[in-house]
Amino acid sequence: MAEILTVVESANGAVKKVSLELLALAGKLGEPAAVWLGPGYSDEAGAVLAEHGAAKIYVADNADLVDYVVAPKAEALAQIMQTANPGAVLIASSAEGKEIAARLAVKTGSGVITDAVDVAADLTATQSVFGGSTIVQSKVTTGTPIITVRVNSIAPEAAPAAGTRVDVAVDVSEAAKSAKVTDRTVAAKGGRPELAEAAIVVSGGRGVNGADGFGVIEALADSLGAAVGASRAATDAGWYPHQYQVGQTGKTVSPQLYIANGISGAIQHRAGMQTSKTVIVVNKDPEAPIFELADFGVVGDLFSVVPQLTDEINKRKG
């Protein structure tokens, strides 16, 4: 059975959930192997990967991989691919993940598919395109399929495997060390989960009517342990920081639960959230197109509905 390489994403040494999702998917396609690119690998991280199906864990402990933008990671993967000869490479569909895939595709003469929401055993990828309005089945026809997979598309699974550590000495070329990261700035995010990865997202739009209005959105998000999102109308108006924008020009999210408050649901916004599993809508306007996506919707003023909902949830949590 061919090895399926999955690229691990981590934060402060901890394996991100998306990496476990990739391993679960890899398990359907062949023998899952994890690839750790950069410093920070630990036996604890290795145990988590093994627990979720990694038969092998390639560890490329080299600071160059994180000190320079993307190119070194693509080089390292290309080197690992030469020896592992994998059936496919799976990478998270994050901004950086797609760029790694891009360069790796050029380097290895392989086709690339981005934003897959599923991959079948024959390596046919399912993509949800045009803001989720069209479902496409596509397949890489040249080289080793390089597929980036959208976060939250597949549930992680416990599948204990050997997790054999394979240290890889990667050779990073001078050319790949041309864009140096000189500083990292962590924006304050108030302890909420990362928007792109969150299982629950609570968003506000034009109906929130000002920066102050986002207080009720944040309170609801915190009652659910959710991330906060915003429509473009809200970020353009400066009511909420731009990095929280959900939509065609912002982030694409695919959470288990999406609660849209005061958002009309123009294509621009739907493009970023249409594949959410369950959608709740609160909007004053019964004609708002966002109601077409609602599993449950309330026509009403968000400033009375949302605080009541928050209270109820806090009560139920006891």
Partner 1 sequence: MKIAVCVKQVPDTWAEKKLRDDDSTLDREAADGVMNELDEYAVEEALRLIEAHGGEVVVVTMGPERAAETVRKALSMGADAGVHLVDDAFQGSDALATSYALAEVLSGRGFDLILFGSESTDARMSVVPAMVAERLGLPQVTFAQKVNVDGASVSIERLTEYGFDTVEAAMPAVISVVEKINEPRYPSFKGIMAAKKKPVETLTVADAGLDAAQLGLAAAWSTVAQFAARPPKAAGTVVTDEGDGGSKIAQYLSEQKFV
User: Which structure tokens are listed for 284?
Assistant: 């004053």
Question: What is the bridge-based pairing of β-strands 112-119 and 125-129?
Answer: antiparallel
Residues 248-277 binding partner 1 (CB under 8 A) are 248-250, 252, 256-257, 266-268, 271, 274
Structure token pair of residue 154: 């597949």
Residues 99-118 that bind partner 1 (CB under 8 A): 99, 101-103, 105-107, 109-115
Rule CB under 8 A: is residue 246 a binding residue for partner 1?
A: no
Tell whether residue 174 is a contact of partner 1 (CB under 8 A).
no
Are the beta carbons of 171 and 79 closer than 8 angstroms? yes
Strand order through the sheet with 112-119: 125-129, 112-119, 146-149, 88-92, 3-7, 31-37, 56-60, 164-167
Tokens of 161: 């495997």
Residue 98 binds to partner 1 (criterion: CB under 8 A): yes
Minimal distance, residue 97 CB to partner 1, in Å: 10
Distance CA 193, CA 274 (A): 20
Q: Is 87 an interacting residue with respect to partner 1 (CB under 8 A)?
A: no
> Looking only at residues 10 through 69 of this chain, which bind partner 1 when binding is defined by CB under 8 A?
11, 69
- 167 sits near partner 1 (criterion: CB under 8 A): no
Does position 208 interact with partner 1 (CB under 8 A)? The reply is no
Q: Which of residues 58-77 bind partner 1 (CB under 8 A)?
A: 69-71, 74
> For residues 222-256, b (16+ Cβ closer than 10 Å) or e, as one string?
bbbebbbbbbbbbbebebbeeebbbbbebbbbbbe
> Is residue 318 part of the contact set for partner 1 (CB under 8 A)?
no
Work out whether 130 is an interface residue with partner 1 (CB under 8 A). yes
The answer to whether residue 316 forms part of the interface with partner 1 (CB under 8 A) is yes
